[in-house]
Amino acid sequence: MSEVVHFTRQGPVGIITVDYPPVNALGPGVREGILEAVDRGVADTQVRAMVLIGAGRSFIAGADIRGFGKGRPTVTRRTHDVLEASPKPVVAAIHGYALGGGLENALGCHYRIAVPGARVGLPEVLIGILPGGGGTQRLPRLIGPEAALEMIVSGRHVPAPEALELGILDELVEGGELRDAAVAFAMRVMDEPVLPRISERGIPDHDPGIFDAIRRRIARRARNQKAPWHCIRCVEIACSTPFEDGIRQERALFEELENSEEAKALRYAFFSEREAQRSPHVSRGTPARPVAAAAVVGAGTMGGGIAMTCADAGLPVKIMDKDPETLARGMERIGKTYAASVERGSLDAAGMAARLALIEPVDSYDAIAGADVAIEAVFEETGVKREVFETLDRVMKPGALLLTNTSALDIDEIAAATGRPEDVAGAHFFSPANVMKLLEIVRGERTSEEVLASVQALAKRLAKVGVVCGNCDGFVANRSRAPFNTEMVLLLEEGALPEQVDKAMVEFGYPMGPFAVGDLAGLDIGYAGRKRREAADPAVRPLPIADALVGMGRLGMKTGAGWYRYEAGSRTPHPDPEVAALIRRVSDESGAGRRDFDDEEIVQRLLFSSVNEACRIIEEGIARRAVEVDTMWLYGFGFPRYRGGLMYWADTVGVREVYGRIAAWHQRYGERWAPSPLLRRLAERGAPLTEAMTDM
Ligand code: 3HC
Ligand code: NAI
């Protein structure tokens, strides 16, 4: 028998166990093993029913993503069909995940049962493909095309209780062993005269308008991509075509997607984000300190968001501020944000109450002294932060993690205010902290490996993507983004308008243009950092247009005007003639003249400046590998995932082309475009930017 699939018998029930750690992907030998096991069960006269189950932590997490794009032998017998064709009932027994090909095989089975904590889904769209193992043809027959469309186009993991309600599962196993329950279930159904086979079912009644409705709904989000549209097409085919023909068309559309640019980029994103979270700064197996209670110091925008993040993860958190009124306002804002989620339907009232119960406002350091982690989110001033850390050092229990949410300040200076710098690290959340998934974990000179491992574990617990990096002004994410922020304003001096730049970047794939994002975040935030950098370094290019806006009190959406103007109560940006006039005036004063830009030049000008800076950051060892930069751009800045990440995308343009452009702009615009030596070396060798690493 196969090494990765085992067949055993318990009385009249044959048990097929997939055992391919860590998540039972359908890797080499697994499909063959399942086929062989089903054949064996069918042939064995003592077997009257079968169970398909996963060993270890999961049922089957889907096809082996590493095998995609590599060519594979033609499949003559498909596991889902062979399972379904079995004359003896097969029960899928699901724990952990039944995703993609995992759920498709389960849909080939005659019955499906699961433990309440299991999740099922067809997440193929998230890696740029479609369910190519019959999922698009069976799921609509089982739960109706509307619910199937929603699942397949979103790719979401559906919790078992919901899957039961939808009709994907036949039963939840509330107590006891899943395997025993599955055997008992199999014995109950082994004498049923007719086996339920999904392929033989008709399509449930539905409104034919659902396809166009979902196309309209995803039009903006799915622009530049093929997979979501192909997914919809497949479900539409299921509704109008016999099963076998539908399967043929599903396969053809799957093959069209497998090697598409978007699928390759999304596979890269899948593996690189996992790689990025394994830091060369932290040896494998480094123990993490347990965290059962958290504290946040500073109840402003970020402190409130961080406290919510803790509560969302079920971690009790105390929040304090120097100012009782600010604390009360912070708690009010937290309450309002949760209430808005309840109104939107993304959270229920009980969930809101449970979260609020975990957040306790307190008015003294004594009240937080026993927490396992303190996260500081006070004003962005070294002096203020040092004072807070002096106090934390005095009051916090030994071993507590002392973390700062600074976006740019020197971690070592902050750590030096304590007698335990090894316990201090940066934990840089992105705004809004309860939404954005990136956590930049900044290692100070003296931060211990154990503390880094503990913050990595905390990130996971908080459902964040934690990436460790070194200490410098702006760390990796904001530092690599800073030249982009400069160039976007300089483009205005040279002839572009905010709405034109925003349109180019939205068409490239960002959910919002950078000027609209600036208005949302508040223009005073960038201003403060810019002034600090200008004061520290005379080579920093001033941005008179951006400064003038702040001077005019146009701080963004919160003041009703920034790069755009906003009508009361609305978040829709309107181009503003006053801004256009300001831009023209500054252009005229600079004497540089105005010219036209096309979208490609805008995109390249912004992103290449960041690629160049990212190469410097890697060269200096602040980031160690390109995957770290790419992961930060995906999760910190909304970079379009189907373009892989900043460095991956630059490779699709070509390292030599990128270098050539940067060198030309160096000639034209001066020192801020000086090519990074690492970039030059990569270009000389024709080596991909995604392979950039420190010490190369
Ligand atoms: N193929 C190959 N490797 C996989 C994999 C897959 N489908 N799913 C997970 N892995 C690997 C991960 O890369 C990781 O490897 P590493 O330890 O070397 O980094 C390891 O398994 C553990 O994965 P995670 O760290 O992600 O573990 P989690 O417990 O956090 O998450 C999971 C588990 C939810 C299953 C998550 O791994 C996941 O979403 N996997 C992808 C699921 C998926 O997309 N399935 C559909 C595949 S396409 C398909 O089935 C096509 C079919 O229709 C024909
Ligand atoms: P904020 O001004 O909204 O909140 C700061 C809070 O700290 C205020 O409520 C203030 O009363 C409190 N505070 C000040 N001194 C204190 C002290 N000594 N003890 C206790 N509380 C004190 O600022 P925001 O935006 O929340 O930023 C906080 C930190 O997070 C800064 O370091 C900032 O750079 C960083 N950050 C901000 C981001 C943003 O987009 N706003 C993004 C990522 C990081």
Which ligand 1 atom sits nearest the alpha carbon of residue 127? 44
The yes-or-no verdict on residue 164 having pLDDT over 90 is yes
Which ligand 2 atom sits nearest the alpha carbon of residue 521? 40
CA distance 218 to 665: 38
Per-residue pLDDT tens for 101-141? 999 999 999 999 999 999 999 999 999 999 999 999 999 99
Q: Quick one: average pLDDT of 469-476? A: 96
Q: Quick one: average pLDDT of 591-615? A: 96
Give strand pairing partners of 574. Answer: 565
Higher pLDDT, 314 or 28: 314
**% of the chain beyond a pLDDT of 70:** 100
From the candidates 84, 124, 250, 273, which is the catalytic residue? 124
CB atoms within 10 A of CB 542: 12
First-to-final CA distance of the chain: 46
The pLDDT assigned to 306 comes to: 98
The yes-or-no verdict on residue 528 having pLDDT over 90 is no
Distance set, CA 307 to CA 356, 390, 455, 459 (Å): 10, 22, 16, 13
Name the strand (E) or helix (H) holding 213. helix 210-218
Say if CB 647 and CB 292 are below 8 A apart: no
Per-residue pLDDT tens for 198-230? 999 999 999 999 999 999 999 999 999 999 999
The pLDDT assigned to 414 comes to: 98
Give strand pairing partners of 318. Answer: 295, 360
Give strand pairing partners of 433. Answer: none
Please name the residue ranges forming H helices in 396-466.
Answer: 411-415, 449-461
Per-residue pLDDT tens for 308-343? 999 999 999 999 999 999 999 999 999 999 999 999
The pLDDT assigned to 592 comes to: 79
CA distance 400 to 403: 9
Distance set, CA 330 to CA 302, 376, 434 (Å): 10, 15, 14
The yes-or-no verdict on residue 443 having pLDDT over 90 is yes
Distance set, CA 518 to CA 151, 490, 549, 573 (Å): 34, 15, 12, 11
How much distance in Å is there from the Cα of 385 to the middle of ligand 2?
10
How much distance in Å is there from the Cα of 371 to the middle of ligand 2?
20
The yes-or-no verdict on residue 434 having pLDDT over 90 is yes
CB of 286 closer than 6 angstroms to any ligand 2 atom: no
- pLDDT level of residue 1 (50, 70, 90 thresholds): low
Task: Answer yes or no: 262 catalytic.
Answer: no
Say if CB 416 and CB 442 are below 8 A apart: no
Average pLDDT, the chain: 96
DSSP letter (8 states) at residue 183: H
The yes-or-no verdict on residue 73 having pLDDT over 80 is no
- Tell me which residue has its CA closest to atom 54 in ligand 1: 132
Distance set, CA 335 to CA 109, 329, 653, 682 (Å): 46, 10, 46, 51
Q: Quick one: average pLDDT of 582-598? A: 92
From the candidates 32, 36, 84, 104, which is the catalytic residue? 104
Give strand pairing partners of 159. Answer: 119
Q: Starting at the edge strand that comes first in sequence, how are the strands of the sheet with 438-442 ordered? A: 359-361, 317-320, 294-297, 373-376, 401-404, 424-429, 438-442, 465-469
Strand ranges, E, within 127-279: 158-159, 171-172
* Long-range Cβ contacts of 582-585 (<8 Å, 24+ apart): 582/545, 582/548, 582/549, 583/492, 583/493, 583/497, 583/545
Task: Answer yes or no: 343 catalytic.
Answer: no
Q: Quick one: average pLDDT of 244-251? A: 97
- pLDDT level of residue 525 (50, 70, 90 thresholds): confident
Q: What are the respective helix, strand and coil percentages of the chain, to the nearest 5? A: 50, 10, 35
CB atoms within 10 A of CB 672: 17
The yes-or-no verdict on residue 602 having pLDDT over 90 is yes
The yes-or-no verdict on residue 35 having pLDDT over 90 is yes
Of 297, 301, 363, the residue with max ligand 2 atoms within 8 A of its CB, to mutate for a pocket test, comes to 301
Q: Residues near ligand 1 with C-beta < 6 Å?
A: 22-23, 25, 61-66, 97, 99-101, 104, 123-124, 127, 131-133, 135, 274
Which ligand 2 atom sits nearest the alpha carbon of residue 388? 18
Q: Starting at the edge strand that comes first in sequence, how are the strands of the sheet with 158-159 ordered? A: 97-99, 119-121, 158-159
- pLDDT level of residue 239 (50, 70, 90 thresholds): very high
CA distance 263 to 421: 44
How much distance in Å is there from the Cα of 60 to the middle of ligand 1?
9
How much distance in Å is there from the Cα of 407 to the middle of ligand 1?
32
Instruction: Among 425-429, 495-499, 522-526, name the one with the lowest average pLDDT.
Output: 522-526
The pLDDT assigned to 313 comes to: 98
Which ligand 2 atom sits nearest the alpha carbon of residue 408? 34
How much distance in Å is there from the Cα of 174 to the middle of ligand 2?
45
Q: Quick one: average pLDDT of 557-581? A: 96
**Nearest 5 degrees, angle CA 13-CA 80-CA 251?**
175
